[in-house]
Amino acid sequence: RGSARRDCRRCSAPLTAPWTLSRRSPHPAPTPHQHPRQRTPMRLTIAALGVAAVAGLRRPVATRLAMSASAGGKPFLILGSKSETRQAIVADMGFDFRVETADIDEKAIGDRAGDVRELVLEIGKAKAAALLPRLAEAGGEPAGTVLLTGDQVVVQGDSVLEKPRDLDEARRFIKRYVPGAPCGTVGSCVLTDLETGKQVSGVDSTEIHFKEIPDDIIDILLEEGMVLNCAGGLMCVSTLLFKAPCC
């Protein structure tokens, strides 16, 4: 046992704490060292695990994928969505990415009277199918690039609510969110490895309970116009809903 000047392999900071040699490992093991503050995710997300699965990597590698940027200035992730909320989520996960939109007629895909989970999965895969030929023709993507597509709808009772066509429909949608009549979201995530073509996907759902949404809050939501980009006109990330006693 002794004390020596050593450098941390992780952050290169000098280590002067005692270290020991053991029979199990011939390498010195420094005592716990406080690294410089880093921006790390609080928990590994399903999407990060999905990327690891697509790339054929083991689970521990997913953390590194979620925190690292791709080399060469090109994005590791191609997000097949123009949703500002999805872009914010992907950016918060630490990915470098760019946006490509499929521009397909989502309402012409799937059976709204059937299994909603199959519906959002079918739309998510249709977006990928529309984007893949375009990306292949353009070429130049770095190895390991992954395409992320998906879809989400709101379900209330037997109704499937997609993006409202106009503000009037958005108002009707929001008016449906009342006490005793919870709604739910059903969303899909489809990840496609551009190099191998391997694809993994998953579907998740939620249940949301509301109190009465005041009319003045509805008016402000409609005036902002963002509800037109949200399935069911349901913008749960809006600070207005958290400030109001409605959910």
Tens digit of each residue's pLDDT (9 = 90 or more) over 173-195: 999 999 998 999 999 999 999 98
How many domains would you assign to the chain? 2
Q: Per the structure block, which two tokens stand in for 194?
A: 């551009």
Active-site annotation holder among 96, 103, 151, 219: 151
Check pLDDT > 80 for residue 138.
yes
Residue 247 is predicted with a pLDDT of 52
Residue 65, pLDDT > 70, answer no
Report if residue 133 sits inside a domain.
yes
Residues 90 and 167 grouped into a single domain:
yes
- Judge whether residue 130 has pLDDT over 90: yes
Q: Are 170 and 230 in contact (CB under 8 A)?
A: no
Question: Which CATH number belongs to the domain containing residue 157 in this structure?
Answer: 3.90.950.10
Six token digits for residue 8: 């941390």
Whether residue 151 lies in the annotated active site: yes
Ranges of beta strands (E only) in the chain are: 2-3, 6-7, 14-15, 18-20, 29-30, 77-79, 97-99, 146-156, 159-161, 183-193, 199-208
**pLDDT band at residue 143 using 50, 70 and 90 as cut-offs:** confident
Q: Are residues 74 and 185 in the same domain?
A: yes
On whether both 63 and 138 belong to a single domain, the answer is yes
Q: Is position 41 within any domain?
A: no
Per-residue model confidence (pLDDT) at position 166: 95
Q: What is the pLDDT of residue 193?
A: 92
Of 141 and 179, more confident: 179
Residue 201: pLDDT band with limits 50, 70, 90: very high
Question: Is residue 20 domain-shared with residue 93, that is, in the same domain?
Answer: no
How much is the pTM?
0.65
Residues 182 and 164 in one domain: yes
Is 50 exceeded by the pLDDT of residue 5?
no
89 and 181 in a common domain: yes
Residues 32 and 50 in one domain: no
Q: What is the pLDDT of residue 81?
A: 92
The whole-number pLDDT of residue 243 equals 58
- 26 and 85 housed in the same domain: no
Is the pLDDT at 140 greater than 90? The verdict is no
Any domain includes 170: yes
Domain that holds residue 19: 1-36
Q: Is residue 147 part of a domain?
A: yes
Residue whose C-alpha is closest to residue 184's, from 157, 211, 155, 161 = 155
Confidence band for 86, pLDDT divided at 50, 70 and 90: confident
- For the segment 212-241, what is each residue's pLDDT rounded down to a tens digit? 889 999 999 999 888 898 889 987 667 676
Greater pLDDT, 42 or 214: 214
Between 47 and 123, name the one with better pLDDT.
123
Tell me whether residue 55 is in a domain: yes
